């Protein structure tokens, strides 16, 4: 995957990212022209993920211009982190698309993804009240009010809607009505590896392998280890980093077109098509 990180190639990368950011914006505007309903969970999820991918790619667009300049090696860290964020969102979207033929399984997976956030939110709410209020009795009352409100909206995540116990279902519980393969999965964790294996089996596309490769590579810039200290700014790995970045962005681009085919909507099709042709040309010009 090594490609020379020259000023010429960096300029092409800058144009690719800029064009991709424009396309993601157009995909979002096209799809929101449709009237969404609560029954269209997949479209809701893909649109949400598209917004997050757009934000990360927009940030990447601001980091690329002077990346080729010597002395800017530390820019690899934010470039890696925002790219990793976009990759994770792409993998999540493709994973959810793989349940397009099973509405119940799709809903269960979305609920399973909500568990970690719901658990965090409860802890955060309690800590926030403890910070804002001095009266323990008042803190307990306000927390209980919040819990009642939360349960009324997300009661399906709990083992019981009526008890005061804050007891979430586990992933296995949520998958009781899912397809057999998921229902019998005792582990239940939706890791990036789990997403990747499902995506690989469902789509059978080499391009999406680059997403998982990029995820693993860029994760090294988030998770510290003493062994990877040199990786952060070693000039000898600059071309390697550039190659991983290019192939990852190509996979993000292909994933966004997959999102667009599901999201539907009207308008901007011709401009999106022109952008796709331009990105193909730019990629073919890399030396």
> In the prediction, which pLDDT does 33 show?
66
For residue range 210-257, what is the model confidence (pLDDT) as tens digits? Answer: 999 999 999 998 888 887 777 776 777 888 999 999 999 999 999 999
Alpha-carbon gap, residue 192 to 212, rounded angstroms: 8
pLDDT value at 181 more than 90: no
Among the listed residues 16, 79, 81, 94, the one whose alpha carbon sits nearest the alpha carbon of residue 49: 94
Whole-number percent of the chain with pLDDT over 90: 56
The CATH fold of domain 7-102+191-284: Fumarase C; Chain A, domain 2 (1.20.200)
Q: Is the pLDDT of residue 184 over 60?
A: yes
pLDDT higher for 185 or 88?
Answer: 88
Cα–Cα dist 30/92, whole Å? 21
Q: Helix, strand or coil for residue 33?
A: coil
pTM of the predicted model as reported, rounded to 2 decimal places: 0.91
Instruction: Say which range, 33-42, 105-114, 194-203, has the weakest mean pLDDT.
Output: 33-42
Phi, psi of 238 (to 5 degrees): -65, -45
Cβ-contact 90, 211 below 8 angstroms: yes
What is the C-alpha separation between 95 and 193, in angstroms, rounded? 11
β-partners of residue 158 are 168
**Do you know the residue count of the chain?**
287
Q: Domain limits of the chain?
A: 7-102+191-284, 105-178
Eight-state DSSP code of residue 70: T
Strand, coil or helix: 78: helix
**Alpha-carbon torsion angle 73, 75, 77, 79, nearest 10:** -130
Q: What is the pLDDT of residues 127-141, one digit of tens each?
A: 999 998 888 889 889
What's the rounded mean pLDDT across residues 159-175?
Answer: 86
Spatial distance between the Cα atoms of 161 and 152, rounded to a whole number of angstroms: 8
């Amino acid at each position: 995957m090594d490609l020379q990180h020259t000023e010429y190639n960096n300029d092409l990368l800058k144009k690719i990212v800029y064009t991709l950011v424009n396309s993601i914006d157009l995909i979002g505007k096209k799809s929101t022209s449709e009237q969404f309903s609560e029954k269209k969970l997949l479209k809701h999820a893909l649109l949400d993920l598209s917004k997050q991918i757009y934000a990360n790619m927009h940030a990447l667009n601001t980091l690329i211009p002077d990346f080729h300049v010597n002395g800017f090696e530390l820019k690899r860290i934010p470039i890696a982190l925002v790219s990793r964020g976009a990759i994770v969102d792409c993998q999540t979207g493709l994973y959810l698309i793989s349940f397009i033929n099973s509405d119940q399984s799709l809903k269960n997976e979305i609920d399973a993804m909500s568990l970690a956030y719901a658990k965090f939110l409860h802890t955060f709410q309690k800590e926030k009240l403890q910070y804002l209020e001095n009266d323990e009795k008042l803190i307990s009352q306000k927390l209980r009010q919040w819990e009642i409100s939360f349960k009324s909206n997300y009661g399906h995540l709990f083992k019981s809607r009526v008890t005061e116990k804050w007891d979430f279902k586990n992933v296995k519980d949520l998958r009781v009505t899912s397809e057999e393969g998921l229902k019998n999965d005792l582990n239940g964790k939706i890791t990036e590896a789990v997403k990747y294996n499902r995506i690989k089996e469902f789509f059978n596309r080499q391009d999406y392998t680059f997403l998982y490769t990029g995820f693993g590579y860029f994760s090294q810039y988030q998770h510290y280890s003493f062994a990877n200290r040199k990786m952060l700014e070693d000039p000898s790995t600059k071309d390697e980093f550039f190659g991983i970045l290019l192939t990852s962005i190509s996979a993000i681009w292909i994933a966004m077109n997959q999102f667009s085919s599901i999201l539907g909507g009207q308008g901007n099709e011709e401009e999106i098509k022109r952008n796709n042709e331009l990105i193909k040309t730019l990629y073919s010009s890399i030396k």
